[in-house]
Amino acid sequence: MQVPRFWKKASAKVQGSHGKPWTLPRWGWSSSSESEAASMADQRASETERRWAGGQPKGDNAYQAGFYDDLPPREEIIDEITDASNQTIAIVSRNSYGSLVLNTDRMLMIDVDLPHRPSPGAGIVGSIMQMFASKPAAKAAGPENEIPENIRSPLNNSRNSFRVYKTAAGWRLIMTDPAIDGLSNMALEIMQQFPVDPQYMKLCKRQKTCRARLTPKSWRVGLDRLRVRFPYTSEKEQAVMDSWSKKYLKAIEGHATCRLVLGHNAPVAAELLPLVELHDQLSGVDSESPLA
C-alpha cells in the first residue's frame, strides 16, 4: 500500500524551448522519514536533468512511458487503521480536491462509472462520523432492479460476498468476504469480472491499493475546489487549508457519498468489519441524503 507520510520537493534546472532556463519541481516521498523523502527528491531532480540533457522523453509522452507514472498519491494522512497486531490495514487520506479517501490492500473495492459521467485536520474524520451518527439511520431502500446486468451477472456467479452501493456517478462494489492479501493477480482478476472504470484499475495497480472516496466532491455541494496541495509549506497555506476544511464540513451536511443497495446481510470477514463500518459511516450509506 503506497500512501507515503513524508514528502519533500527538489528542483531540476533544465533548458526549455529556445534555450530558456526552466525550473521543474520533483517530489520525493517516504513512509519512514523526511530525510529519506528529501534524498529521493534530489535523486529524481538529478535524473530529470540527465534525461533532458540527453534528449530523452521529457514531456507528456514521458508520463505515458512510465517515467513519472509510479507516483504514489501526494495526500495528507488523516487516520490510520491497524489490526490486532498493530499492522496498518487501511489509511484515510485527503485527496487533492479535499475529499477523504479510504486506502486499503485488504479489502477489494471496485469503482464502476456510468457511461456518461458528469463533469465536473485529523479531527475531520470524527466530525463527519458524528455528523452522520447524530441523524437517525434511515432504512436503506436501494433499488436493486437498477443494478446493471454487467454487474449483477458476475455477482450471481461469484462465490465471494459483496456489498453494492449507488454513487453519484455509478456504482461501488466492496468484497466483504474474503479479505485480500494485497492487490494480487487473483484480486485483479476478480475486479476484471466487472465493468471496472479503466482509470480506477490503472490507479489501483500503480498504487498497489484499492481506493474509495468517503466524502462528497466539493463542487457537488456548492464549494470551490481546494486551492492548496499537501504538504502545506507555509503558515498561509495551512491557514487556507484550515479555513477551507471548516467550510467543507459545513457544506457536506445533508449529503452522502454512496447508498447501500445490495448486500445488507452479506457475510463480512472479521478483519474487514472495522473497514466496512468506517466506510459506511463516513459515506453516509444509510442516510436518505442526496449523493454528491
pLDDT tens-place string over residues 148-194: 999 999 999 999 999 999 999 999 999 999 999 999 999 999 999 99
| pLDDT of amino acid 136 | 40
- Complete DSSP assignment for 101-143: EEEESSS-EEEEE-SSPPP--THHHHHHHHHHHTSPPPPP---
Same domain, 58 and 171: no
Same domain, 248 and 153: yes
Query: pTM of the entire structure?
Result: 0.83
Same domain, 94 and 129: yes
Ranges 110-114, 115-119, 284-288: which has the least confidence: 115-119
C-alpha span between 189 and 193 (Å, rounded):
7
Amino acid at 9: K
State how far the alpha carbon of 191 is from the alpha carbons of 90, 111, 276, in Å: 19, 9, 18
Q: Assess if residue 133 is contained within a domain.
A: yes
Mean pLDDT of 63-88: 78
Domain of 181 in residue numbering reads as 76-283
Same domain, 146 and 227: yes
Same domain, 82 and 209: yes
Q: Is the pLDDT of residue 139 over 50?
A: no
pLDDT tens-place string over residues 196-205: 988 889 888 8
Same domain, 53 and 163: no
C-alpha span between 271 and 269 (Å, rounded):
6
Same domain, 80 and 190: yes
| pLDDT of amino acid 138 | 41
Same domain, 237 and 203: yes
| pLDDT of amino acid 95 | 94
Number of structural domains (the chain) is: 2
